[in-house]
Structure 1
Amino acid sequence: MSPRRILVVTVVHHPEDARIRHRQIASLLAAGWEVTFAAPWTGHGVEPPGAGAVPGLTAIDLTRSSGRRRFAAQRDVRRVLREQGPRHDVVLLHDPELVPSTLGISLPLTVWDVHEDTRAVVDLRSWVPERLRGPLRSLAGTMERGAERRMVLILADEDYAQRFAQQHLVVPNTTPVPVDPPPAGTPDEQGRLRVVYLGSLTRERGVAELVRVGEQLSTATQGRAVLEVVGPAHGSATTEQLEAAQRAGHLEWSGFLPADQALDRLDGALAGLSLLHDVANFRPSMPTKVVEYLAHAIPVISTPLPRAVDLVERSGAGTIVPFQDVERTVEQLLAWAQDPAAAADLGRSGHTLARRELDWGVHSEQFVTAMERLADAPR
């Protein structure tokens, strides 16, 4: 029997995106699939892997879709879908804007992986004029209903199910859980305690708060504790804030790192921060960064979004602080800096819950089985 073949497509996400490349594609490759991954490689400053560099993986470079510059990406992806789609058993889409890109093209069974609340996220797009946000939210709802009729959907969060008429497979944003990570509060090579933030960086994700936390933490500990920020900045204002804070020595910002390297930065940290604001797109979602902090046995400081509260309270692995409360965040970090053993105890509690409930090693089998069933289904 010849290997099953899947075409995975994104014009928005980084080619090293954790959910796409390091969970789903990695699981399919391990199961013997042939994967064609069409993504904006050079648009994100990454060289596509050459033929044979990753067994079973073929890379196609697409134009990146960003801000108001989206039409070139649409033309490019329609070309690739026409040329490559019929050669595969399944097409897996990872961006909402790819749903209308499939119209009028003859494709095999097509799957849309719904990463977020498509309507709510319109309000987070600073490049969308205010007068267009209402119409775009309505259009997003229409697009979702049309996609449900034409495609198979998988959902990144169970709370997204209420937006759809039918039941759909939920593939949550869990993460590989290391068996025995180092204890939280382990000093780095310079003898410092590291506090980490892992994820995309925007105003709504708490960049202003992170900058102030970094400054106050560094000052209060005379540099013995440092805030390490890992992730891509979105928008010039966000980038400028982070660059200024780094020049001032208030934090260390590495930008985007591939998932395996980014997750390595969590090991031994004193704590992980999730200072998301109270916006509609975040309320129903399980914050992936919180899952990753628990998996790597570090305690969490999070704002009171419902799913984060549930994880922190059930695991007993951290503290909930009010939205935009920098002082309370720094106060808790200083307490753990004075008593790293207490942070390590909390981290171990979180790790126990993560191994029980949040391990991608469990959910990956469900995902691969679902893709196999779709690939083998009669057309």
Structure 2
Amino acid sequence: MAGSGASHEAGSRAGAASRPDAVVLVLSTVHQADDPRLRYRTVAVVAADGPVRYATRPPAPATVDDHEWRALPGGRPRRWLAAVREAWRRDVALVSVHDPELIPLALATRYLRRRPVIVDVHEDVPAQIATKAWLPRPLRRPLAWLAAGLLRAAERGCVVTLAEPNYADRFRRAHPVLPNYPDPASLPQAAPSDGWFVYVGDVTEVRGARLAVAAVGRLEPPRRLRLIGRCASDLATVLRADADAHDVELDLPGFVPHPHAMARVATAEAGLSPLADIPNYRRSLPTKTLEYLGAGVPVVASDLPGTREVVGDLPGVRLVAAPGPGPPAPHDVQSWAEALRAVRADPGVRARALTGRDAVRARFAWPSTHLRRIYADARTTHGR
């Protein structure tokens, strides 16, 4: 009888994947609930095919009309335990994880609960670890090696999706790529410039925050810079001091839900992407550049191979030598100031960006149909 009960339980776990009313769980212990790739490009699309439960750290997403949201409160250990509980609920048919630290949970869910799992790898994790300044240098290489091992373990039992092809060589097999292109429906209508230079994304020194302040400070008034995204309090203090020293009107609103951030982009003088030349950024495409262009706004971006390959020849784009990591060097500040000054002085650059807007939206659109097919196939072929 005991064996029969265990068999029935295992069968019910596997059977959940085929029930049309069972839930797809989209899970992250790290990302904000309004992260564009998760909330607007995954949850919103998958919800068209059935119930979706979305579990992240607080605060809640701006809208919850198409899904059920669950909070993962507390510090990382507590959030991780809460993630286990969510992944192992009886009504969950498929689990979609979006953080490298959730790969052990993904494997446990696949092998112990017999549920299909999708591991969405957003970036080159080993390369990212190698650039984490807060990690002690002796730990970076072993942790990067461990991360590479976890990625290879994930592909043995889970469905793996990538945000870019540039780190596909981290895996033994080919995996579907869901490029981090914007959803055209999420992009705003064109609007007149309000004179602000705008950056959207995590606000960090290695992403060029201090360089942007210094470069805008070299311009003639008005000197307006808006940095939209999460920013550590100590860096925010430094940026405000830099802005005061350079007589820059600086707006640091922190994290802003994606639709509201895009509305501010639409009126920008130009969208900025001043990423430093480090391995994790060198080969990747900053999604923000496509969002700026899709809003009809000129772009000033670091001339990195991944950026140049995709947007270098598009109308309204100006590439500038990428800065090195660390405090902004005078020659980098000068180069970026000259680029910003040129964009401001040329009314034709906005017209060119606006002319290319529809082509950018059509060519670089989030692959919703491909994503829905991957999730449907995972439930039918991996739910055993």
1:59 aligns with 2:69: yes
The answer for the alignment partner of 2:368 in structure 1 is: 364
2:106–2:117: 8 Å Cα contact kept in structure 1? no
> What per-residue deviation string (whole Å, max 9, x for no partner) do you get for residues 160-206 of structure 1?
212111111111111123688326xx243xxxx12111111112111
The answer for the alignment partner of 2:55 in structure 1 is: 38
Amino acid at match of 2:226: E
Classify 1:20/1:244 alpha carbon distance in 2 versus 1 (closer, same or farther; 3 Å).
same
Counterparts of 1:160-239 in structure 2, within 5 Å, are: 160-177=167-184, 181-182=189-190, 186-188=192-194, 193-217=195-219, 220=220, 222-223=221-222, 225-233=223-231, 235-239=232-236
1:327 aligns with 2:334: yes
Counterparts of 1:1-379 in structure 2, within 5 Å, are: 2-3=20-21, 5-29=23-47, 31-41=48-58, 46-47=59-60, 54-63=64-73, 70-82=76-88, 84=89, 86-105=90-109, 106-107=112-113, 108-177=115-184, 181-182=189-190, 186-188=192-194, 193-217=195-219, 220=220, 222-223=221-222, 225-233=223-231, 235-245=232-242, 249-324=248-323, 325-340=332-347, 342-360=348-366, 363-377=367-381, 379=384
The answer for the alignment partner of 2:12 in structure 1 is: none
Is the partner of 1:25 in helix, strand or coil?
A: helix
1:273 positional shift: 0.7
1:200–1:232: 8 Å Cα contact kept in structure 2? yes
Amino acid at match of 2:157: R
In terms of mean alpha carbon deviation, does 347-356 or 300-309 score higher?
347-356
Amino acid at match of 1:284: R
Is the partner of 1:314 in helix, strand or coil?
A: coil
Q: Distance in 1 between matches of 2:82 and 2:188?
A: 45
Q: Distance in 1 between matches of 2:44 and 2:106?
A: 25
1:229 positional shift: 1.3
1:79 positional shift: 2.9
1:245 positional shift: 4.6
Classify 1:64/1:214 alpha carbon distance in 2 versus 1 (closer, same or farther; 3 Å).
farther
> What per-residue deviation string (whole Å, max 9, x for no partner) do you get for residues 40-80 of structure 1?
01xxxx2478xxx7344111111366xxxx33333332233
Runs of at least 5 residues in structure 1 that lack an aligned partner in the other structure:
none
Runs of at least 5 residues in structure 2 that lack an aligned partner in the other structure:
1-18, 324-331
| TM-score after normalising by structure 2 | 0.85
Is the partner of 1:201 in helix, strand or coil?
A: coil
Q: Distance in 2 between matches of 1:240 and 1:33?
A: 45
Q: Distance in 1 between matches of 2:143 and 2:339?
A: 41
In terms of mean alpha carbon deviation, does 305-314 or 140-149 score higher?
305-314
1:87 positional shift: 1.7
Show structure 1 runs of 4+ deviating over 4 A: 245-249
Is the partner of 1:125 in helix, strand or coil?
A: coil
Q: Distance in 1 between matches of 2:60 and 2:36?
A: 17
1:181–1:296: 8 Å Cα contact kept in structure 2? yes
Q: Distance in 2 between matches of 1:56 and 1:236?
A: 34
> What per-residue deviation string (whole Å, max 9, x for no partner) do you get for residues 192-232 of structure 1?
x1211111111211121022123223xx1x22x52121111
Q: Distance in 2 between matches of 1:62 and 1:173?
A: 25
Identity %: 31
1:301 positional shift: 0.9
| TM-score after normalising by structure 1 | 0.86
Classify 1:64/1:259 alpha carbon distance in 2 versus 1 (closer, same or farther; 3 Å).
farther
